[in-house]
Structure 1
Amino acid sequence: MSTPSFDSVVIAGLAACTATTFSNPAEVAKTRLQLQGELVKTGYKAIYTGPLDTIRKTWTHEGIYGVQRGLGAAYAYSGLLQVCIISLYEPFRLSLNSILGKDASERYFPTTIAAGTCTGIAGAFAGNPFFLVKARMQAYSPSLPVGTQRHYKSAFEALQRIYSLDGAGGLFRGARAAMFRTSLGTSVQMPTYFFTKRKIVETGLLKESNPVTVVLSSAAAGAVVCLFMSPADTTLTRLYNQPTIPGRAGGTLYTGPFDCLMKTVRIEGPLALYKGASAHFLRITPHITILLTANEYLTRWYRSLNRT
Structure 2
Amino acid sequence: MATTMGAFIAGGIAACGAVTATHPFETVKIRMQLQGELQDKGHQPHHYRGPFHGVSVIVRNEGIRGIYRGLGTAYIYQVLLNGCRLGFYEPMRKSLTSLIFRDEKVQSLGINMLCGASSGIIGAACGSPFFLVKTRLQSYSPFLPVGTQHKYRNAYDGLTQIYKGEGIKGLYRGVGAAMIRTGFGSSVQLPTYFFAKRRLVRHLGMEEGPALHLASSACSGFVVCVFMHPPDTIMSRLYNQNGNLYHGVFDCLAKTVKTEGFFAIYKGFLPHLARILPHTILTLSLAEQTNKLVRKVENRILPASMLTKAA
TM-score norm. by structure 2 comes to 0.90
For residues 101 and 111 of structure 1, what CA distance do their matches in structure 2 show?
11
Quote the offset at 1:282 in angstroms.
Answer: 1.0
Aligned match of 1:101: 101
Quote the offset at 1:304 in angstroms.
Answer: 6.3
Deviates more, 1:8-17 or 1:57-66: 8-17
Question: Which runs of structure 2 are paired with 1:250-269 in the superposition (5 Å)?
Answer: 251-269=243-261
Unaligned runs of 5+ in 1: 245-250
1:254-302 Cα offsets, whole Å, 9 max, x none, are: 1111011011111111111111111111111111221233233334455
Quote the offset at 1:303 in angstroms.
Answer: 6.0
CA contact (8 A) 2:12 2:83 kept: yes
Quote the offset at 1:33 in angstroms.
Answer: 0.8
Distance 1:274 1:298, change over 3 A: same
Aligned match of 1:285: 277
For residues 154 and 166 of structure 2, what CA distance do their matches in structure 1 show?
18
Quote the offset at 1:87 in angstroms.
Answer: 3.0
Aligned match of 1:228: 227
Opposite residue 89 of structure 1, the aligned amino acid is Y
Distance 1:229 1:298, change over 3 A: closer
1:62-84 Cα offsets, whole Å, 9 max, x none, are: 11111111111111111001221
Distance 1:5 1:88, change over 3 A: closer
Deviates more, 1:3-12 or 1:216-225: 3-12
CA contact (8 A) 1:120 1:182 kept: yes
Aligned match of 1:138: 138
Counterpart check, 1:33 vs 2:25: no
Q: Looking at both structures, which has the greater relative contact order when contacts are Cα pairs under 8 Å and sequence separation is at least 6? A: 2
1:194-220 Cα offsets, whole Å, 9 max, x none, are: 1112212211263332x3332332222
1:163-217 Cα offsets, whole Å, 9 max, x none, are: 00011111111111211111111001111111112212211263332x3332332
TM-score norm. by structure 1 comes to 0.91
CA contact (8 A) 1:215 1:285 kept: no
Opposite residue 223 of structure 1, the aligned amino acid is F
Q: CA RMSD in A?
A: 2.0
Q: Percent identity?
A: 46
Distance 1:11 1:279, change over 3 A: same
Aligned match of 1:153: 153
Higher helix share: 2
Unaligned runs of 5+ in 2: 301-311
For residues 3 and 302 of structure 1, what CA distance do their matches in structure 2 show?
7
